[in-house]
Chains A and B, each alone.
Chain A
Amino acid sequence: NAGVTQTPKFRILKIGQSMTLQCAQDMNHNYMYWYRQDPGMGLKLIYYSVGAGITDKGEVPNGYNVSRSTTEDFPLRLELAAPSQTSVYFCASSYGTGVTGELFFGEGSRLTVL
């Protein structure tokens, strides 16, 4: 069982560069989430999706974009990388909410912007 797979695991970007963090899940989950976690801090919700074609902003969406063209994939796009986006990014998915809402997390993608 692959679960939630994130790529790349590590990446260094220069200021102003763009990149996409990939997230894929094989559990047929409807809900997918992107969080970022700065060193020593909690997780901040960037974007989330409740199904293919539907996305919405979380707490800290500025500087990011997402799409959800399939149930399995939920890529996160950074258009103009800034040092403030240096963080660990976690993708998560769940079957639903409420009693079915257990979040399954990927291993994270560590991004450094220099």
Chain B
Amino acid sequence: LAKTTQPISMDSYEGQEVNITCSHNNIATNDYITWYQQFPSQGPRFIIQGYKTKVTNEVASLFIPADRKSSTLSLPRVSLSDTAVYYCLVGEGNTGFQKLVFGTGTRLLVSP
């Protein structure tokens, strides 16, 4: 059963780079790793997804080591508006039948 572990909370300041690591020791061969951002009173929003090595888009980078047992979401130069809860998500189940279970998430607080 794939399960994720993340730090409960992190603090940062505007302009800093933030790295949030997620542990997923039981990740299956066919599972992708996806990160979501959630603001209060809203549904989660997709940030980035990857399978291995490094993925980068306009808002974040995702680093996945060769063993895929962990992943790191990197947010460059955070701003106050990046204060949110960040969830790491991996698929769960047999090939083509994915039960997507969220972990506890990391609450990021960005201060001026």
Q: C-beta contact mask, B40-57 vs A, less than 8 Å → 1, else 0? A: 011111100101000000
Interface positions of A (Cβ within 8 A of B): 31, 33, 35, 41-45, 48, 50, 56, 58-59, 88, 90, 92, 97-99, 101-108
Q: Check if B87 sits within 8 Å of A103, measured CB to CB.
A: no
Q: Check if B102 sits within 8 Å of A97, measured CB to CB.
A: no
Q: Check if A101 sits within 8 Å of B44, measured CB to CB.
A: no
Interface positions of B (Cβ within 8 A of A): 30-32, 34, 36, 41-46, 49, 51, 85, 87, 91, 96-105
Query: Which residue of the partner chain A has the closest CB to B36?
Result: A103
Query: Which residue of the partner chain B has the closest CB to A45?
Result: B101
8 closest Cβ pairs, A-B complex = A105-B43, A97-B98, A43-B102, A102-B46, A42-B104, A90-B43, A42-B105, A98-B32
What would 23 A/B residue contacts be, using CB atoms closer than 8 Å? A35-B102, A42-B87, A42-B104, A42-B105, A43-B87, A43-B102, A45-B99, A45-B102, A50-B97, A58-B101, A97-B98, A98-B30, A98-B32, A98-B91, A99-B32, A99-B49, A101-B32, A101-B49, A101-B91, A101-B100, A105-B42, A105-B45, A108-B41
How far in angstroms is the closest Cβ of chain A from B26? 16
Known: A98-B91, A101-B49, A103-B46. A33 touches B103 (CB 8 A): no
How far in angstroms is the closest Cβ of chain B from A42? 5
How far in angstroms is the closest Cβ of chain B from A38? 12
A88 to B96, CA, bound (A): 28
Q: Check if A48 sits within 8 Å of B100, measured CB to CB.
A: yes
Q: Check if B44 sits within 8 Å of A103, measured CB to CB.
A: yes
